[in-house]
Structure 1
């Protein structure tokens, strides 16, 4: 399977732009097939889901160039025998039509002309791109969330000491007067292994205000310390309580479906559930999480699911569960088992963005995004649009491998992005990092 692209090209077509690239192997080798990847963009910010288009003649495709004009563009290349070939490409969505042109005209790449206003908009978006903070902020902490409460900043995360996130002794939290102070702040234990029948893991803790009080969603292992027994749980901070005091948190309880059964994509079959997040949109209280069937030797695909809850009783779903997302894009399928996880919502005036992670816990881990307009029924998977390329991956910032499991917080007019990554692709542990997006006013955040 191709894992990389070369010769990216743009051409003006009608009211938008055609994007073409040549797929190659992850090692940079040419592929034997005569194919290109083609997508369409109206604004050079969002691109349609690219599709593989077969070209006439034998592969591989070399010396490719693209010329735009009118309602089509002309792609020129050389085939396996070195013969010059050209084809016209028509279409602005997944229904691209390729028609070979013979004899092949001589062509060279043409500049893509855009208006000064469009150029200024694109440049302004880049100016508002993130401020890359020193990495890591906190070592051996994964799946991070930072949040502000009572005039202090807090960090909760999975303990990834020495890369072991299974035999974890406790659920930890730390705080500081400012974000950078979290780097040296001491950890406080708010839940220990063995309490409430929990055996370890304590994955992906998130704190949200739900029903007027702070709730902490997380995924501990039940009984033994094993990834195969993790289940979404929630506990509540007492009114006026201190988030760093264990006694101020209620006993954690599992989140159950509307019939009172453990969460499972196939009710009644054993499953794991994790990475639960919460968002309120247009008067609806929603949770999104990842779950998969785990039964004896069978491990199913990890998918994102969504449901409604009563904010006064967040441990019980009040609607049927709906599957929102299944891994199917190439960058999502780099693990032995297909997995999408780590959802987190970002609500603005016009839309809801739901970032998620995929690609396996390692250097191929990356961050994707689903987007839906405000006012839409977010329980309907058809209202969500999945970006075809990751927002954040190992190519985004040098020395940050597998950036993912993103969460957001607001600080004044800035948007704070928390994520984890590895500083070396071969090290076992993941580390917490931050980025600041100045002046974010809605829309898909620029994370690169």
Structure 2
């Protein structure tokens, strides 16, 4: 039995999880672990299943909740789960106050997030204790979010989005090698900043990085523009044996690689992660909406749903990104937040 039903090389059950934006899926020892932004932005949740198609109905467990006050009290965004050196880590962003606006941001107006880390040393992340390892010191205090981690060549790296107040826009992408999963070993190096038209629609952002290491190459995806129909995914590539802390090792695509598809009813695809089938085929996981007209503040519209599709590669080893696939299960359009395992 495969991890999910497939037809013509595509997943036949989508979305894989309703109302969970910024999806992160990790396959470990045959089990899929899922986390993503809860639409109330007040907790970090985790669920697991043997098949991607079963994640929607899997029990969801809250492993951490926001603080009553202080720097981790508001807008808990984009948790990612990683397995490093036999322990579990969740990277997430949190803010001290609900600061900023998403409707009409000024050129450099942002929220006030920083990147934080949880650690669990148990074999089972649902049974062990999640310990706060605190804020990641990225080298300066400014808007920071969307941290992801990857290991290659025996070294762990962190990639994240952060604002440099001397650079026009809201966030750039940075990379550093890690001393341990919550401490950087090297200064941050800028890899990309918003510069192309597609990256600067509404928001000037490069955010939501994710890394796939495959056949001697490193593929680093990210998202740009505001989170509506213009939200799209970009790509940086490097050789796995290159100095990944050297910006010259990376090549940036001038065009987005994954964009809205009105024919499929999918808008604003982005903030992706990568997982794999039991056979080792790459799977692209991302969120998207099914409509373009949003009532009120887009931040509080809960209907960015987690989706997945197999990512093929051509004969030269390049990803064939394709386009978002249509939904095969009903999705909500109201702003009501569904029960964790609810079906619409």
TM-score range, shorter chain: 0.7 to 0.9
How big is each residue's C-alpha offset from its partner over 1:40-59, in whole Å with a ceiling of 9 and x where there is no partner?
Answer: xxxxxxxxxxxxxxxxxxxx
Superposed, 1:85-234 pairs within 5 Å as: 131-160=10-39, 168-194=41-67, 197=70, 198-221=72-95, 223-226=96-99, 228-234=111-117
Q: Distance in 2 between matches of 1:358 and 1:130?
A: 28
Q: Is the 8 A contact 1:272 1:294 kept in 2?
A: no
Partner of 1:319: 186
Q: TM-score, normalised by structure 2?
A: 0.79
- Where 1:403 maps in the other structure, the secondary structure is strand
Unaligned runs of 5+ in 2: 1-7, 101-110, 295-300, 323-344
Give 1:209 shift: 1.8
- Where 1:378 maps in the other structure, the secondary structure is coil
How big is each residue's C-alpha offset from its partner over 1:150-204, in whole Å with a ceiling of 9 and x where there is no partner?
Answer: 44222100113xxxxxx52311111122111101122211011226942132211
Q: Is the 8 A contact 2:155 2:177 kept in 1?
A: yes
Shift in CA distance, 389/214, structure 1 to aligned 2, threshold 3 Å = same
Work out which of the residue numbers 302, 327, 331 in structure 1 matches 2:171. 302
Q: Distance in 2 between matches of 1:195 and 1:215?
A: 23
Work out which of the residue numbers 342, 348, 362 in structure 1 matches 2:208. 342
Q: Distance in 1 between matches of 2:23 and 2:57?
A: 16
Structure 1 position 416 matched with structure 2 position 298: no
Partner of 2:311: 437
Q: TM-score, normalised by structure 1?
A: 0.61
Unaligned runs of 5+ in 1: 1-128, 161-166, 258-262
Q: Distance in 1 between matches of 2:317 and 2:306?
A: 25
- Where 1:229 maps in the other structure, the secondary structure is coil
Q: Is the 8 A contact 2:173 2:191 kept in 1?
A: yes
Q: Is the 8 A contact 1:255 1:314 kept in 2?
A: no
Q: Is the 8 A contact 1:344 1:356 kept in 2?
A: yes
Q: Greater CA deviation, 190-199 or 150-159?
A: 190-199
Q: Is the 8 A contact 1:292 1:299 kept in 2?
A: no
Structure 1 position 282 matched with structure 2 position 148: no
Q: Distance in 2 between matches of 1:283 and 1:316?
A: 16
Partner of 2:131: 250
Shift in CA distance, 170/396, structure 1 to aligned 2, threshold 3 Å = same
- Where 1:379 maps in the other structure, the secondary structure is coil
Q: Greater CA deviation, 195-204 or 411-420?
A: 195-204
How big is each residue's C-alpha offset from its partner over 1:136-157, in whole Å with a ceiling of 9 and x where there is no partner?
Answer: 2222111101112344222100
How big is each residue's C-alpha offset from its partner over 1:36-78, in whole Å with a ceiling of 9 and x where there is no partner?
Answer: xxxxxxxxxxxxxxxxxxxxxxxxxxxxxxxxxxxxxxxxxxx
Q: Is the 8 A contact 2:162 2:172 kept in 1?
A: yes
Q: Which has the larger radius of gyration?
A: 1
- Where 2:181 maps in the other structure, the secondary structure is strand
How big is each residue's C-alpha offset from its partner over 1:284-313, in whole Å with a ceiling of 9 and x where there is no partner?
Answer: 321110001579xx9843100111111xx2
Number of residue pairs the alignment of both structures matches:
297
- Where 1:251 maps in the other structure, the secondary structure is strand
More strand by share: 1
Q: CA RMSD in A?
A: 2.7
Q: Is the 8 A contact 2:169 2:194 kept in 1?
A: no
Shift in CA distance, 362/352, structure 1 to aligned 2, threshold 3 Å = same
Partner of 1:386: 252
Q: Is the 8 A contact 1:236 1:250 kept in 2?
A: yes
Shift in CA distance, 244/440, structure 1 to aligned 2, threshold 3 Å = farther
Q: Is the 8 A contact 1:213 1:239 kept in 2?
A: yes
Give 1:359 shift: 1.5
Q: Distance in 1 between matches of 2:200 and 2:9?
A: 27
Superposed, 1:33-52 pairs within 5 Å as: none
Superposed, 1:70-89 pairs within 5 Å as: none
Q: Is the 8 A contact 1:302 1:326 kept in 2?
A: yes
Give 1:230 shift: 1.4
